[in-house]
């Protein structure tokens, strides 16, 4: 009798403690309570199309070709996500966005994901209700000037007029750089990509500042006149550019993140769009998991186990995407190489 009373007392104490821990969020909840679905993925499937926000036209990243087909690193990143979720890279709608309306479009649900040369910062992630899923381009703010100016360093730009897009991390980086170096400048704020370039080339400003990749692409696009322009050696900020999603849908965040990781893993393992079918016969465990031969990696994400296979087969691995879109612009891969080639891209294991 005494023993049973003690047992009942202990049980009641245990239940009370468990309730307190659960209320405090310290006790694991049942798997069903954690949620296994994704409202965003459900919407995409019902719609039969991914809606992806991109830039209004940046060569190498997102720019319609002569047939009106969107081309570029960001555009292909959108296609890869469509392939993993819907099994078809063509089931994507591109929505061109400016620097001022890109976040609102994502917050409001106008787009499912933003892949638009957008820098990952604390302020954006903490204040906007948005999350960065992965970095598809490591970049940095730089300056370009006409060679005829004789300017060889950003430290020589004191008093200069500088063309820059408003509402960008570039604008903040320039302000910080000039303040730290006790220099002054006059910003020429222009939103449109083509207009800001025209302003620089016409002499309306002494320098043009944006991400180094953008400057390299702009300079390369000048053809025989490319040597008339110089990109100054200073890179004055870190600009990790990546894909953004809304907070609150962890499964969708996982899906976008692991799509990029799959593309990097494929490059690391030597799996390409051309040999992926042959690689299905591979005995390498990592490749077999990546391509859905072994394991239930896709099921864990809420998609078909061929999710990564579809993206690699249809869009290619990360190196193929880079070589198709960025390399022709004359931009070295540098920091965007895999970790084992001196770069920063380090894909976590798919297992």
Q: What is the pLDDT of residue 35?
A: 39
What residue ranges do the domains of the chain occupy?
A: 39-139+240-334, 141-237
Residue 312: closest CA among 257, 286, 275: 275
CA distances from 115 to 27, 40, 72, 175, 314 (A): 36, 16, 11, 25, 19
Place of tokens 């430290």: 155
Pair 141, 165: CB distance under 8 Å: no
CATH number, domain 39-139+240-334, options 3.30.70.640, 3.40.50.2300, 3.40.190.10, 3.40.50.300: 3.40.190.10
pLDDT tens digit sequence for 105-160: 999 999 999 999 899 999 999 999 999 999 999 999 999 999 999 999 999 999 99
Q: What is the pLDDT of residue 295?
A: 94
Task: Give me the tens of pLDDT residue by residue for the chain, a chain 351 residues long.
Answer: 444 443 444 344 444 444 444 343 433 333 333 334 899 999 999 999 999 999 988 889 999 999 999 999 999 999 999 999 999 999 999 999 998 899 999 999 999 999 998 999 999 999 999 999 999 999 999 999 999 999 999 999 999 999 999 988 899 999 999 999 999 999 999 988 889 999 999 999 999 999 998 898 899 889 999 999 999 999 999 999 999 999 999 999 999 999 999 999 999 999 999 999 999 999 999 999 999 999 999 999 999 999 999 999 999 999 999 999 999 988 889 999 999 999 999 999 999
Pair 199, 165: CB distance under 8 Å: no
Cα gap 178→154, rounded to integer Å: 9
- The answer to whether domain 39-139+240-334 and domain 141-237 are alike in fold is yes
pLDDT tens digit sequence for 274-310: 999 999 999 999 999 999 999 999 999 999 999 999 9
Chain-centre distance of CA 227, in angstroms? 31
Residue 245: closest CA among 79, 54, 103: 103
What's the CATH code, domain 141-237? 3.40.190.10
pLDDT tens digit sequence for 236-247: 999 999 999 999
């Amino acid at each position: 009798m005494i023993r049973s009373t003690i047992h009942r007392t202990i049980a009641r104490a245990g239940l009370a403690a468990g309730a307190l821990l659960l209320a405090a969020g310290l006790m694991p909840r049942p798997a069903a309570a954690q949620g296994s679905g994704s409202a965003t993925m459900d919407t995409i499937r019902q719609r039969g199309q991914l809606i992806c926000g991109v830039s209004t036209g940046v060569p190498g990243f997102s720019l319609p070709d002569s047939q009106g087909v969107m081309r570029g690193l960001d555009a292909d990143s959108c296609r890869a996500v469509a392939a993993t979720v819907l099994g078809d890279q063509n089931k994507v709608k591109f929505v061109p966005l400016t620097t001022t309306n890109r976040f609102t479009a994502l917050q409001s649900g106008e787009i499912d994901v933003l892949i638009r040369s957008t820098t990952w910062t604390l302020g954006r992630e903490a204040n906007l209700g948005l999350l960065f899923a992965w970095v598809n381009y490591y970049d940095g703010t730089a300056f370009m000037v006409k060679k005829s100016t004789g300017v060889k360093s950003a430290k020589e730009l004191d008093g200069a007029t500088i063309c820059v897009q408003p509402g960008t991390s570039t604008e903040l980086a320039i302000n910080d750089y000039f303040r730290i170096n006790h220099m002054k400048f006059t910003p020429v704020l222009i939103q449109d990509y083509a207009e800001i370039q025209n302003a620089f080339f016409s002499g309306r400003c002494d320098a043009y500042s944006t991400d180094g990749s953008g400057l390299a692409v702009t300079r390369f696009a000048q053809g025989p006149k490319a040597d008339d322009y110089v990109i100054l050696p200073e890179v004055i900020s870190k600009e990790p550019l990546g894909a953004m999603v809304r907070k609150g849908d962890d499964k969708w965040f996982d899906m976008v993140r692991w799509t990029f990781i799959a593309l990097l893993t494929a490059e690391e393992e030597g799996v390409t769009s051309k040999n992926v079918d042959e690689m299905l016969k591979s005995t390498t465990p990592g490749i077999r998991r990546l391509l859905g031969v072994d394991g239930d990696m896709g099921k864990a994400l809420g998609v078909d186990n061929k999710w990564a296979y579809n993206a690699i087969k249809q869009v290619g691995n990360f190196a193929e995407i880079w070589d198709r879109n960025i390399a022709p612009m004359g931009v070295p891969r540098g920091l965007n190489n895999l970790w084992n080639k001196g770069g920063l891209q380090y894909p976590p294991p798919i297992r």
